[in-house]
Amino acid sequence: MPEINSADRNNFVDLPGELEEALTRIGKALPEWGMDGTFLAASTIERYRAELAPVPQFAEAMATLRAKLSTAGAGFAVVRLGNIAAALGEEQFLRLTTAIIAEVAVPFQPLQRYELWKPIGTKPGKDPNMTSGTGYQAHHIDLVNATMPPDYTVLLCIRPDPLGGGASIVSDARAAVERLTKTSRDLLAEPVFSYGQFFELADVGEEFRPFPVLDGEPHGRGFVRFTGKMLTQSGMGEPHANAAQELAAQLIAGQKTFTLKGGDLLFLNHHRVLHGRQALGEGQHGVAPDDRRLLLQLFLRDSSQPS
């Protein structure tokens, strides 16, 4: 199957070979992380930063990454860590990845069932359109029904779908909104939308129900609070449902599609982009569970945001 890729080079960060080698060396000796509630402990962040700070070219690579992720940039980026993943054991690779992520914002895991990283595996028996399902997952921000969704989601690809599916889709939410009519935008600014359950969550505020899709906040602060999954569930009236459908269509029209490889680290700025996933390949029952697609997910809180 040809690789699906409508993202351009600007959306990817390849590290220079020397930097990969230095990070691999440091990764071998990084200590275990600690947690402070749902957040990566400040002492771990300080320790990891101190280990990585002297590495030549590292500061430049992180500045490039932060610029791509900013609301002025594309709002998403994939850092290619496949060579480092291949050279380190899984535990050390996760520590190094966590250290890199902590250069962007503060890692945390609001889903209380998990420590820091949440596995997103492939479960053929599950609702196909949900996390860990095998079908299409429509554009969304994670924890859409929280008053304070995470500022970023991070997805680390451990194993791509051996059947060639599961491409990531990412769309510029602000650009999609700009293409709507004023009437639709006005409808989306009304607090009549709702989605899903709210439980076993911490540090994302309260349940927001019903919510407006457009919150009128400045771009770097507010969200396009949307999930394509709410179209069938929300119980809203027809004008609002039509406006939400229009937004869903514009998100699809503007989407970038690319397939993550093992070791790819996808950062998504929730203030700027929505994300989802194409269906996985048909026939997952024929793939051994340990060989199926596996991502790991965590979230980031931008410490510069007023809380």
| CA-wise closest residue to 239 among 191, 171, 188 | 188
Q: Which amino acid is at 43?
A: S
15 lines the binding site for ligand AKG (CB under 6 A): no
Q: Is the CB of 99 or the CB of 120 nearer to ligand AKG?
A: 120
List of residues 6+ apart from 143 with CB closer than 8 A: 110, 149, 150, 201, 204, 299
Beta-bridge partner residues of 265:
79, 156
Site map 165..204 versus ligand AKG, x via CB under 6 A: ---x------------------------------------
Alpha helices in the chain (DSSP H): 17-27, 42-52, 58-69, 82-87, 90-101, 173-178, 182-188, 238-253
Touching Fe ion, residues 110-149 (CB under 5 A): 142
Parallel, antiparallel or unpaired: strands 35-36 and 264-269: unpaired
Q: Is the CB of 30 or the CB of 155 nearer to ligand AKG?
A: 155
- Selected from 256, 277, 292, 301, the binder of ligand AKG by CB under 6 A is 277
Q: Are 223 and 215 in contact (CB under 8 A)?
A: yes
Beta-bridge partner residues of 13:
79
C-alpha 304/C-alpha 301 separation (Å) is 9
- Selected from 15, 96, 120, 273, the binder of ligand AKG by CB under 6 A is 120
264 lines the binding site for ligand AKG (CB under 6 A): no
Half-sphere exposure of 271 (CA within 13 A, CB side): 18
Q: Is the CB of 64 or the CB of 129 nearer to Fe ion?
A: 129
- Selected from 131, 194, 242, 257, the binder of ligand AKG by CB under 6 A is 131
161 lines the binding site for ligand AKG (CB under 6 A): no
275 lines the binding site for ligand AKG (CB under 6 A): yes
259 lines the binding site for ligand AKG (CB under 6 A): no
**What residue 137 binds from Fe ion, ligand AKG, none (CB within 5 to 8 A, per partner kind)?**
ligand AKG
Question: Buried b vs exposed e over 176-215: b needs ≥16 C-beta within 10 Å?
Answer: bbeebeeebbebbebebbbbbeeeebebbeeebeebbbbb
Measured from the CB of residue 102, what is the shortest distance to ligand AKG in angstroms? 21
And the tokens for 156? 């680390």
Q: Is the CB of 105 or the CB of 120 nearer to ligand AKG?
A: 120
292 lines the binding site for ligand AKG (CB under 6 A): no
Q: Is the CB of 271 or the CB of 277 nearer to ligand AKG?
A: 277
137 lines the binding site for ligand AKG (CB under 6 A): yes
SS3 category, 13: strand
Q: Is the CB of 27 or the CB of 276 nearer to ligand AKG?
A: 276
Judged by the rule CB under 6 A, the positions of this chain that interact with ligand AKG are: 120, 131, 137, 142, 168, 275, 277, 295
